[in-house]
């Protein structure tokens, strides 16, 4: 096992750097490549960024690194826009983001929508109308994790146990 570098921060990995610091040069490199190749050539950009594919590069750019991206506080006008667009289009977050709110990511808009419908008043500040109350009540609850954690996790198959046993990762079953 390699020795961590001298003076590395607490919690640094085996190579002496934290996961966050490893992504900082990657972000700068991705910004440089997007400036050189444009925002449509993700496969070309990915060939120059080792350990990343085109989709990963595009998602990183689109959701985190775009200079025009707004990660600040939400305004009342934005809340009203989200409300009216969901009434018009439904919960098509990518379409709402692309057509009406290009400075916000689709995931940010979805999260804001879930926040709006749980508020005690309409985004414009007035009381909820009866049909809006129905819409709020019909909103699906937040998703739960796919697999339960801890003791509720389903039992592993016998072949998985045999593989772990062969690799020395567990002890033989008793009984």
Does this chain's domain 22-65 share its CATH topology with 76-138?
Answer: yes
pLDDT at residue 14 in the model: 43
User: For residue 109, what are its two tokens?
Assistant: 């808009």
**Cβ neighbour number for residue 127 with a 10 Å cutoff:** 9
CATH topology of domain 22-65: Arc Repressor Mutant, subunit A (1.10.10)
**pLDDT value at 50 more than 60:** yes
Contact 103, 117 (CB under 8 A): no
pLDDT (tens digit per residue) in 71-87:
999 999 999 999 999 98
User: For residue 74, what are its two tokens?
Assistant: 């939400």
Q: Give the closest residue to 26 by CA, choosing from 56, 48, 49.
A: 49
Per CATH, domain 76-138 is 1.10.10.60: yes
12 or 72, higher pLDDT: 72
The C-alpha angle with vertex 71 and arms to 68 and 75, in degrees rounded to 5, equals 105
Percentage above 90 pLDDT, the chain: 42
**pLDDT value at 16 more than 50:** no
Residue spans of the domains in the chain: they are: 22-65, 76-138
């Amino acid at each position: 096992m390699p020795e961590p570098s001298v003076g590395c921060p607490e919690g640094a990995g085996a190579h002496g750097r934290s996961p966050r610091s490893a992504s900082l040069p990657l972000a700068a490199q991705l910004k440089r490549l997007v400036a050189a190749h444009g925002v449509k050539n993700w496969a070309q950009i990915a060939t120059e960024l080792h350990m990343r594919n085109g989709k990963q590069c595009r998602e990183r750019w689109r959701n985190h690194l775009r200079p025009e991206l707004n990660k600040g506080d939400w305004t009342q006008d934005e809340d009203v826009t989200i409300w009216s667009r969901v009434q018009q289009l439904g919960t098509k977050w990518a379409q709402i983001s692309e057509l009406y709110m290009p400075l916000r990511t689709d995931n940010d808009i979805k999260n804001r929508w879930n926040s709006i419908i749980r508020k005690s008043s309409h985004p414009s500040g007035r009381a909820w109308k009866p049909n809006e109350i129905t819409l709020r009540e019909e909103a699906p609850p937040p998703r739960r994790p796919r697999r339960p954690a801890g003791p509720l996790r389903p039992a592993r198959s016998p072949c998985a146990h045999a593989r772990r046993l062969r690799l020395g990762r567990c002890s033989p079953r008793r009984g």
